[in-house]
Amino acid sequence: MFSFDITHSSKPALYADLLAAADAVTSGEHDAIANMANVAALIWEFVPDLNWAGFYRMVDEELVLGPFQGKAACIRIPLGRGVCGAAAQSRATQLVTDVHAFPGHIACDAASASEIVIPLIHAGQLLGVLDLDSPKPARFDAEDQAGLEALCAHITPRLLG
Ligand code: SME
């Protein structure tokens, strides 16, 4: 249904195109699961060197697995546990260059070496987190963080229904 020409000279250009694509596929749609599913698919298509990309949703005070791309993953993560739980509890992006050095890291896929998790906050409410894993150490940097935080800020209001 959608097709994108993905050729990028820089990370900011990649994330600008990813945001535009995410805007296009979520525009006018209010179903949170549908929008998370399409955004996870776009991240998988646009962002190189990933082995997992997807969402965990806040449900009854814990994180529950949402739409994703990659291998089957752990389903429930308590607040404060692992990288996702740390992002949810602190409400701050967790950029982890070496997951093996992160206390309490949850290894859903043994191939993961680095990870970034962005909290999804709307009107002061934590809706969940966006989680990206890579088999490459130190795969994510400040440019990835800026691009993914901008993406999350844009789509979070479309993840309410
Ligand atoms: N590694 C995460 C768990 C989720 S998986 O990576 C998909 C964590 O430590 O929270």
> CATH code at 123?
3.30.450.40
Atom 1, ligand 1: residue with shortest CA distance: 106
**Inside any domain, residue 81:** yes
Domain that holds residue 37: 11-159
d(CA 78, CA 71): 20
Index of the ligand 1 atom closest to the CA of residue 112: 6
Domain count, the chain: 1
For residue 139, report the phi and psi dihedrals to the nearest 5 degrees: -65, -30
Res. 9 pLDDT band, cuts 50 70 90: confident
**Inside any domain, residue 3:** no
pTM for the model stands at 0.95
**Inside any domain, residue 1:** no
Task: Report the 3 state secondary structure along the chain.
Answer: CCCCCCCCCCHHHHHHHHHHHHHHHHCCCCCHHHHHHHHHHHHHHHCCCCCEEEEEEEECCEEEEEEEEECCCCCEEECCCHHHHHHHHHCCCEEECCHHHCCCCCCCCCCCCEEEEEEEEECCEEEEEEEEEECCCCCCCHHHHHHHHHHHHHHHHHCCC
| Predicted confidence (pLDDT) per residue in 86-101, tens digit | 999 999 999 999 999 9
Does ligand 1 come within 6 angstroms of the Cβ of 58? no
Note the pLDDT of residue 6. 67
Cβ–Cβ contacts within 10 Å for residue 145, how many? Answer: 15
Atom 2, ligand 1: residue with shortest CA distance: 106
Note the pLDDT of residue 8. 73
- 14: CA distance to ligand 1 center in Å? 24
**Inside any domain, residue 19:** yes
**Inside any domain, residue 72:** yes
**Inside any domain, residue 2:** no
Q: β-pairing, 62-70 with 94-96?
A: unpaired
**Inside any domain, residue 4:** no
- 105: CA distance to ligand 1 center in Å? 7
Does ligand 1 come within 6 angstroms of the Cβ of 52? yes
- 6: CA distance to ligand 1 center in Å? 27
